[in-house]
A and B are shown apart, each in its own frame.
Chain A
Amino acid sequence: MKYSIDKEGFYGSFGGAFVPEMLYPNLEELEKNYNKIIAEEDFIIEYNSLLKDYVGRPTPLYFAERMSEKYKCKVYLKREDLCHTGAHKINNTIGQILLAKRLGKTRIIAETGAGQHGVATATVCALAGIECVIYMGSVDIKRQAPNVARMKMLGASIIPAESGSKTLKDATNEAIRDWINNPLTTHYIIGSVVGPHPYPDMVAKFQSIVSKEIKSQLFEKEGTENPDYLIANIGGGSNAAGLYYEYLENEKVKIISVEAAGKGVESGKSAATSVLGKVGIIHGSKTLLMQTTDGQIIEPYSISAGLDYPGVGPLHAHLLESKRAQFISITDEDAMEAGLEISKLEGIIPAIETAHAFAAFKYLEFKEDDIVVVNFSGRGDKDLNTYIEYFDL
């Protein structure tokens, strides 16, 4: 298995758990238990039943006819935007809250940037009746007022991260510090396939439901489980990991990861880690990240708050390095135009993160019978203000 984790927690040379000793017992506890717990029958039954009745799974695999016509291939959209709370994020938070309960944890912490993962975490904590503390950069709190209000309605406490650049990376630092301070009672629900081992693997497994469903849905529609292309947007890379998971070892299925170029890869305002990143350590993981030559982490930029992470999950660094995945960087401008185009072509307003994946189409060439599955990772409601301002709607 070339693309799964080894016993030390590495994908090739990426991953591991580069954390202070204080966190070693927490991670060891998770590492020893997560694979066992998620394979237990009662866990599987509860997880699947919540995904079905609470999240609304399976999400449709929709043949996008007008888009297919325009880009001269067969485009299918995996409708993760139809999940409860509006994005794929909840697949992971449902899994982790059930895991936390089985580990006897009584308090949940999480980081959030745009607030989507924070809302998905606050939601499952309400569902489980567990205390929830969300760390969010104080800059993001101001930018994302509706999601802050949602989390509050769901009963979460929100702690502003005031350190560093006061955004996602700092909120993640604060959550990790909280976990150091509260090692026994607390489970940390990381929102993407980032952070120290075992998080990247664990989150990928909880998101793998996306590609599991695609296999049977595609077989029903096309008589094959295997598309020719998979396309996903990528910040940390959780929706992408979910989309690729079942197909990683099947190299006939091509993978295209779309990252945010912001105002342009060379503009100094970008989140294009595949181009700008170098190998280093961020949030306990050895991966590609944007940093100065001295090794200080650089604050990324994208119009999409969900893609402006300075690193990428170690799985994705491995997929890039081994050339299993092709990476494309998409500017704010291209993404916004694609968001508008897809709304008009298919009647679905995408999150700006998701719009990046659609913007890649004009730079790609397909054969007419190519089956292309795009992860429609989130809906655009949360981004309406940005759309309104950008297009003067």
Chain B
Amino acid sequence: MNRIDKKLNKEGKLLSIYFTAGYPSLNDTEEIIIKLEESGVDMIEIGLPFSDPLADGPTIQDSSTEAIKNGMNSKVLFDQLKNIRSKVSIPLIIMGYFNPILQYGVKSFCEKCSEIGIDGLIIPDLPINYFETNYKSIFKDNGLHNMFLIAPQTSQERIRYIDKISNGFIYMVSSSSVTGSKNSFDSNQLAYFSDIKEMNLSSKRIIGFGVGNKETYDIAVKYSKGAIIGSAFIKNLKLKGTNSIKEFIKSIRS
């Protein structure tokens, strides 16, 4: 069974952390992953940086720009991760925009992920229908989940469709916004969380975008299986470095 599914089937709420690979320093990837696992995080999204990240706010844009300058790319990332499964057992997801994956070759990319022990991908700008027509079988052959996003404006009909074709979890974007632009939830968002909860979808939902501290994490997981923190984690890394990871995770989950 895919490590993501195992986690999703366990009792309790999940904390997933996103970080940009190659940031703050090119070779921080392994250390960050190990420290996140040691801190009790449940899943990790390893961000493959892209020059033009459309869904991201300034924090992830800047970390991506830095990471690319530092020399990060798909090949380097795969090389850094090649022995990662001898060190951690936490579910690992690569999250990145489609173009760098397309240039690597979708099939080769998926095969490499499978070889390393990556459990799934999140590709925000790969349309669902295009995926279903062109790549679904490649993902399946390599034991990879492809997680889809839903957002507040997504119609119920489309959510039902996404639920039907999803494996792993549904990535529920908390508001109509890019990443890192909010740090609290308003009543509209809470209403949206509760509407989706009441749809009784068969896929588990993980809430991301706008989750950045204990308060927002606690609220998010009331309505979902777990939550994803990205920008706030990256900001903390920037200010305090990799030694502060445990302390940051503790501040969310104490």
Contacts and interface: CB of A to CB of B under 8 A. Distances in A.
Interface of A: 8, 16-22, 24-26, 163-164, 169-170, 173, 176-177, 180-184, 278-284, 291, 293-297
A163 B150 CA distance: 26
A26 B153 CA distance: 9
A22 B99 contact: no
Nearest to A296: B51
B142 to A, nearest CB: 20
Contacts of A182: 176
Interface stretch (B5-13, B119-127, B217-225): B119-127
Nearest to B73: A294
Contacts of A283: 52, 54
Interface in B177-206: 177-178, 181
A278 B102 CA distance: 11
A10 to B, nearest CB: 10
B57 interface: yes
Given A18-B127, A20-B124, A297-B99, 20 more contacts: A16-B127, A17-B127, A21-B154, A22-B149, A24-B127, A163-B62, A180-B54, A180-B55, A180-B177, A181-B177, A182-B176, A280-B99, A280-B103, A293-B103, A294-B75, A295-B102, A295-B103, A295-B104, A296-B73, A297-B52
29 contacts: A16-B130, A18-B98, A20-B124, A21-B149, A21-B150, A22-B55, A22-B173, A24-B127, A24-B153, A24-B158, A163-B61, A163-B62, A170-B52, A173-B54, A180-B54, A180-B55, A181-B176, A182-B176, A183-B153, A282-B99, A283-B54, A284-B54, A291-B99, A291-B103, A294-B73, A295-B50, A295-B100, A296-B50, A296-B51
Contact of B102 (A8, A173, A280): A280
B181 A20 contact: no
B79 to A, nearest CB: 13
Contact of A18 (B51, B75, B125): B125
A146 B20 CA distance: 39
B251 interface: no
A182 B181 CA distance: 13
B74 interface: yes
Contacts of A184: 153, 176
B19 to A, nearest CB: 19
Most buried by A among B54, B55, B149: B54
Interface in B45-87: 50-58, 61-62, 65, 68, 73-75
Contacts of A295: 50, 74, 99-104
Contacts of A180: 54-55, 176-178
Contact of B52 (A21, A26, A164, A181): A164
Given A173-B54, A294-B74, A295-B103, A19 B127 contact: yes
A180 B102 CA distance: 24
Contacts of B176: 22, 180-184
A289 B164 CA distance: 35
B102 A21 contact: no
A180 B178 CA distance: 7
Given A181-B178, A280-B102, A294-B100, A176 B150 contact: no
B154 A24 contact: yes
A177 B52 CA distance: 11
Contacts of A22: 55, 149, 151, 153, 173, 176
Contacts of A281: 97-99, 102, 125
B169 interface: no
Contacts of A21: 124, 148-151, 154, 173
A153 B102 CA distance: 44
B155 A25 contact: yes
Interface string B96-121: 01111111100000000000000000
Contacts of B178: 177, 180-181
Contacts of B51: 164, 296-297
B154 A20 contact: no
Contacts of A24: 127, 151, 153-154, 158
Given A16-B130, A282-B99, A176 B54 contact: yes
A173 B53 CA distance: 8
A324 B117 CA distance: 46
A176 B124 CA distance: 14
Given A25-B154, A294-B100, A295-B101, A181 B73 contact: no
Given A183-B176, A282-B99, A18 B65 contact: no
Interface string B132-147: 0000000000000000
Interface string B25-62: 00000000000000000000000001111111110011
Contacts of B57: 177
